[in-house]
Chain A
């Protein structure tokens, strides 16, 4: 085996082990029970087409996302907040819209904010389906690269990154605290840029 192959294999194996280790820690902190349908069904039965009554970390991030996803709201934002309360890890902590508000009274493009708590240093991958799909393929590609070391899998990594980024670009194109988009933004056109600056510094 050439030096090239052994170097790729060794480094990819180290990254794979580290990622697996980190995932194991995430599972031990957040668990996997949120994948069961019970809470999603509970939300559907008790808060049909309305914002649930959120208090004392009673619902998890995954279920609330599932509950809202079907409605096609365009500007839902989950603000991730650090917590030291173990009971609240991965749980929704507040909503920007009054609980009980019917979905049909909310505009499709209205800004809807939720707060979700997490442990410092340990991200909420396990609650984010799109990313889990990405991670699954990423790990598979790494395993393939380690196993079939004579073949260069870099192009497949690029395709995966391209696909994920392309699909999620529009979702990311939104400010954290409002429904406003980053691009396109008429306030940054050359004329506005100067006018705003001189207006503020007059």
Chain B
């Protein structure tokens, strides 16, 4: 217990300090995310790992914690976070609530490499590596991904209830999603999909809010940085969505300082994930593409008031659709009938009843229909259509993934006798779950009894 509490304090201390600097002490659910943001740097700045695994480092962090404790006295923040993480740890120690997969081994290997002051080129994001760094000879904190994800989920649903002015009891509307077995199973893994989904949700909520009600813009940029560094594929899958979000969020902001902050927030993840982006066999392992995309994003946002950019943003879903069709065509030209097999395998997976996959697919579609129906303005409608197109992109891009990880099973093109539960489908289906979880808290908008049709019309 002492080891667990000490490791929790080591993990939380940077977050507790950051909340004081950013003046977000009241939102105790964000503290853990700030900690994750801080510790993600330890994949790049290897020396930071001294703080975790040496007695001198431990003494330094204990001292910092003591200073925070005496100076700021935000006990509620500390107690909630310690209570939540301890509860999850106790649950795991009593019942075993985690689902360990091969990625866990890769992540733990990368974490151990870092703790041995060696950089790791494993194709895993820095945020995910930091999930398994907090251990000593007696104990390992194993439930950090769940703790981070659920903390942000609570924060997001609370934000929505506040904005919509609805009772907190409506938060139960998201419960059915967690009874779908494939959703539970994904959340129980030591991967960053769930956490990443809730970061995106927070960014969306902040963008949808009135300017006066938004959090400090530095918080937004930290979460943008965290979102891009939490999953390596986020650059690719969410690119159009980020253009939409950022043009809206920064609509009236033309200062150079804002552009510099955006540049920093979008480039920092590439630096943080430098080693991960340099390894791996797929598109995600090509750092040049990531740099080009980020550069383009910044140019796009910098010139957001130019008529050409305005035109592109206001027709972004048309351009996105054309790009998806083009990608499908290119995939078909390169991989021929195997591309078709890839798409069909993915559709089979998503529509099959095993682990409730078909239920989550239906849930996603129904949720989107209602969210588009409930959109208050053209931006929201455009945004939710963009979410649907991102789903299509996940399916269409499948051959790019399968051609790398499908090995002989995929390259021979022989499908007779293959089980539908293909391991090479898993990444795509996980991305789909991440997308689903990103919009899940918005079901509260649909539940809002105060929302009438007139309001929706406006």
Which A residues form the contact surface with B (CB < 8 A)? Answer: 2-5, 7-8, 11-12, 15, 79-85, 118, 120-125, 128, 131, 134, 138, 150, 152, 154-155, 157-159, 161-162, 164-166, 168-169, 172-173, 176, 182-191, 193-194, 197, 200-201
Contact call A8/B416, Cβ cutoff below 8 A:
no
B interface residues, tally (CB under 8 Å): 65
User: How many Å lie between the Cα of A120 and that of B345 in the bound state?
Assistant: 7
Please judge, given known A-B contacts A84-B415, A182-B99, whether A15 and B181 are in contact too, CB under 8 Å. no
Taking CB atoms and an 8 Å cut-off, the chain B residues in 315-360 that contact chain A are 341, 344-345, 347-348, 351-356, 358-359
When C-beta atoms are compared, the residue in chain B nearest to A125 turns out to be B353
Contact call A131/B358, Cβ cutoff below 8 A:
yes
When C-beta atoms are compared, the residue in chain A nearest to B98 turns out to be A188
User: How many Å lie between the Cα of A191 and that of B454 in the bound state?
Assistant: 57
Contact call A183/B370, Cβ cutoff below 8 A:
no
Contact call B417/A81, Cβ cutoff below 8 A:
yes
Please judge, given known A-B contacts A2-B456, A120-B344, A154-B447, whether A190 and B142 are in contact too, CB under 8 Å. yes
13 contacts between A and B (CB under 8 A): A5-B373, A81-B418, A81-B420, A84-B415, A120-B348, A121-B348, A154-B446, A157-B363, A158-B443, A169-B181, A176-B354, A184-B97, A188-B97
Type the 1/0 row for B356-374, where 1 means its CB is closer than 8 Å to any CB of A.
1011001101100110111
Shortest Cβ distance from residue B256 to the other chain A in the assembled complex, whole angstroms: 40
Shortest Cβ distance from residue B32 to the other chain A in the assembled complex, whole angstroms: 18
Contact call B457/A4, Cβ cutoff below 8 A:
yes
Stretch touching chain A among B58-66, B88-96, B205-213, B301-309: B88-96
Contact call A4/B373, Cβ cutoff below 8 A:
yes
Tell me which residues across on chain B come within 8 A of A155, comparing CB atoms.
173, 447
Tell me which residues across on chain A come within 8 A of B89, comparing CB atoms.
190
Contact call A197/B373, Cβ cutoff below 8 A:
no
Shortest Cβ distance from residue A106 to the other chain B in the assembled complex, whole angstroms: 23
Contact call A183/B97, Cβ cutoff below 8 A:
yes
Contact call A79/B419, Cβ cutoff below 8 A:
yes
Tell me which residues across on chain B come within 8 A of A182, comparing CB atoms.
99, 185, 188
Tell me which residues across on chain B come within 8 A of A84, comparing CB atoms.
415-416
Contact call B373/A11, Cβ cutoff below 8 A:
yes
User: How many Å lie between the Cα of A188 and that of B182 in the bound state?
Assistant: 18
User: How many Å lie between the Cα of A159 and that of B363 in the bound state?
Assistant: 11
Contact call B446/A193, Cβ cutoff below 8 A:
no
Tell me which residues across on chain A come within 8 A of B97, comparing CB atoms.
183-184, 188
Contact call A154/B370, Cβ cutoff below 8 A:
yes
Please judge, given known A-B contacts A7-B372, A188-B100, whether A158 and B415 are in contact too, CB under 8 Å. no
User: How many Å lie between the Cα of A187 and that of B109 in the bound state?
Assistant: 18
Please judge, given known A-B contacts A123-B351, A158-B173, whether A189 and B415 are in contact too, CB under 8 Å. no
Taking CB atoms and an 8 Å cut-off, the chain B residues in 63-107 that contact chain A are 89, 92-93, 95-100, 105
Contact call A162/B175, Cβ cutoff below 8 A:
yes
When C-beta atoms are compared, the residue in chain B nearest to A183 turns out to be B97
Contact call A11/B369, Cβ cutoff below 8 A:
yes
Please judge, given known A-B contacts A11-B369, A81-B419, A123-B352, whether A5 and B359 are in contact too, CB under 8 Å. no
Contact call B353/A128, Cβ cutoff below 8 A:
yes
Contact call B96/A189, Cβ cutoff below 8 A:
yes
User: How many Å lie between the Cα of A107 and that of B416 in the bound state?
Assistant: 33
Tell me which residues across on chain B come within 8 A of A80, comparing CB atoms.
352, 354, 419-421
Tell me which residues across on chain A come within 8 A of B179, comparing CB atoms.
161-162, 165-166, 169
Type the 1/0 row for B174-207, where 1 means its CB is closer than 8 Å to any CB of A.
0111011110110010000000000000000000
Among candidates B100, B344, B354, B417, residue contacting A172 with C-beta atoms closer than 8 Å: B354
Contact call B181/A168, Cβ cutoff below 8 A:
yes
Contact call B417/A83, Cβ cutoff below 8 A:
yes
Tell me which residues across on chain A come within 8 A of B416, comparing CB atoms.
82-85
Interface centre among B185, B373, B443, B447 (most CB of A within 10 A): B373
Which B residues form the contact surface with A (CB < 8 A)? Answer: 89, 92-93, 95-100, 105, 108-109, 135, 139-142, 173, 175-177, 179-182, 184-185, 188, 341, 344-345, 347-348, 351-356, 358-359, 362-363, 365-366, 369-370, 372-375, 415-421, 443, 446-447, 453-454, 456-457
Shortest Cβ distance from residue A30 to the other chain B in the assembled complex, whole angstroms: 14
Tell me which residues across on chain B come within 8 A of A169, comparing CB atoms.
179, 181
Give the secondary structure class of A's interface. Answer: helix
Interface centre among A123, A150, A184 (most CB of B within 10 A): A123
User: How many Å lie between the Cα of A140 and that of B353 in the bound state?
Assistant: 19
Shortest Cβ distance from residue A194 to the other chain B in the assembled complex, whole angstroms: 5
Tell me which residues across on chain B come within 8 A of A161, comparing CB atoms.
176-177, 179-180, 359, 362-363
Please judge, given known A-B contacts A8-B369, A172-B181, whether A131 and B353 are in contact too, CB under 8 Å. yes
User: How many Å lie between the Cα of A84 and that of B188 in the bound state?
Assistant: 36
Please judge, given known A-B contacts A165-B359, A193-B140, whether A188 and B370 are in contact too, CB under 8 Å. no
Please judge, given known A-B contacts A8-B373, A162-B179, A182-B185, whether A172 and B355 are in contact too, CB under 8 Å. yes
Tell me which residues across on chain A come within 8 A of B447, comparing CB atoms.
154-155
Contact call A165/B457, Cβ cutoff below 8 A:
no
User: How many Å lie between the Cα of A7 and that of B165 in the bound state?
Assistant: 24
User: How many Å lie between the Cα of A194 and that of B99 in the bound state?
Assistant: 15
Tell me which residues across on chain A come within 8 A of B351, comparing CB atoms.
123, 125
Shortest Cβ distance from residue A96 to the other chain B in the assembled complex, whole angstroms: 14
Contact call A4/B456, Cβ cutoff below 8 A:
yes
Please judge, given known A-B contacts A8-B370, A154-B443, whether A82 and B415 are in contact too, CB under 8 Å. yes
Known pairs A4-B453, A161-B176, A187-B96. 19 more at Cβ < 8 A? A2-B454, A2-B457, A5-B453, A7-B375, A15-B369, A82-B416, A118-B348, A122-B348, A152-B370, A155-B447, A158-B173, A159-B176, A161-B362, A165-B179, A168-B356, A173-B181, A185-B99, A193-B140, A193-B142
Tell me which residues across on chain B come within 8 A of A168, comparing CB atoms.
181, 356
Tell me which residues across on chain B come within 8 A of A79, comparing CB atoms.
419, 421
